[in-house]
Structure 1
Amino acid sequence: MEQDSSVAADLQDGVDEFSNISFRPLEVSDVDDFMVWASDERVTHFCSFNPYTSKEDGINYIKNTVISHPWFRAICLNNRPIGAISVTKNSGNDICRGELGYVLAGQYWGKGIATRAVKMVAKTIFSERPELERLEALVDVQNVGSQKVLEKAGFTREGVLRRYFILKGRSRDVVMYSLLATDPVI
């Protein structure tokens, strides 16, 4: 297959074909792209939800959860959603913390996209929400790929929280990662 000349030029300049990453709100019209990752058992294995089996369920999730979420974005490649990333802000005495979550379609794993997205969001969220001093992520101890993403993005591994929550009927150990607003984002 012949490469587009702009892609070839980007590759020569040291920029890979996945450098055009952006964020935007996920919309109901994105349901087909959403279903690519949300229906994949490999992708949803460590997610709080089971694979979506119907487009209608995906539409309902986008309408009832995603659109009303204060900071939920589609991770886009050339403006097409290939995953999602969110930051959930705590309240009360925990207002200084936000929890990061992300998911990426399996065909894009191992290409640096999730790491790039996490870095971009960290820079963005600390400037958009100055009350946030800490961004944290909880990762299943068996989800080595996601742990590597966070470490490459400059997050600090703080430790293992044993039997921290129930995921798909089983109590799970998770690794706590954090990035402070004062930490350098790599």
Structure 2
Amino acid sequence: METSPGIFLRTFDLLDAEDVLIWAGDDNITRYLRWTSVRTVEEARQHILQTVIPHLWRRSISLLRDGRSIGCVSVRPNISDGRCGADLGYAVAREFWGRGITTAAVRMAVEQAFGVFRRW
């Protein structure tokens, strides 16, 4: 498997609020997501507490060099018509578009999340 472009996936923490505000506050990123943009650090904290942490499998896309959150990837099992499947979503700060980060994060998420879901 090819190496990721300097990223790893991890759980979110309330200390991520300022970083989350950067990408979750960008309407160009959130317009395709199921939640609206956050506008303040406090809204970012509440988003982490109420939406991110309770999610079954949502991870921060973080930089290896400093651990900073630059986006998220989430996977949710979806069983319909007796078939097993999943919904996958992601968001990445605009300054990191076009660098292969989303592709690498999705590959990591599929490997990690389906490893967890297989045990259910």
TM-score range for the pair, normalised by the shorter chain length: 0.7 to 0.9
Which runs of no fewer than 5 residues in structure 1 stay unpaired? 1-14, 133-186
Q: Aligned residues, how many?
A: 116
- Give the 3 Å change call, closer, same or farther, for CA 24–62 of structure 1 in structure 2: same
Q: Which runs of 5+ in 2 are unaligned?
A: none
Aligned match of 1:80? 68
Q: Tell me the residue number matched to 1:54.
A: 40
The letter for the 1-side match of 2:101 is I
TM-score, structure 2 as length reference: 0.84
Bigger Rg, structure 1 or 2: 1
Structure number with higher strand proportion: 1
Q: Is the 2:21–2:41 contact (alpha carbons within 8 Å) kept by the matching residues of 1?
A: yes
From 30, 48, 55, the equivalent of 1:44 is 30
CA positional deviation for 1:81: 0.7
**CA deviation digits over 1:68-127, x for unaligned, max 9?**
112110001122110000111235765722110100000000110001111111122222
Q: What residue is the counterpart of 1:129 in the other structure?
A: 117
Question: RMSD between aligned alpha carbons?
Answer: 2.3
2:19 aligns to what? Answer: 33
Q: Could you tell me the TM-score, scaled by structure 1's length?
A: 0.56
1-structure distance, mates of 2:13, 2:90: 17
Q: Matched residues, percent identical?
A: 33
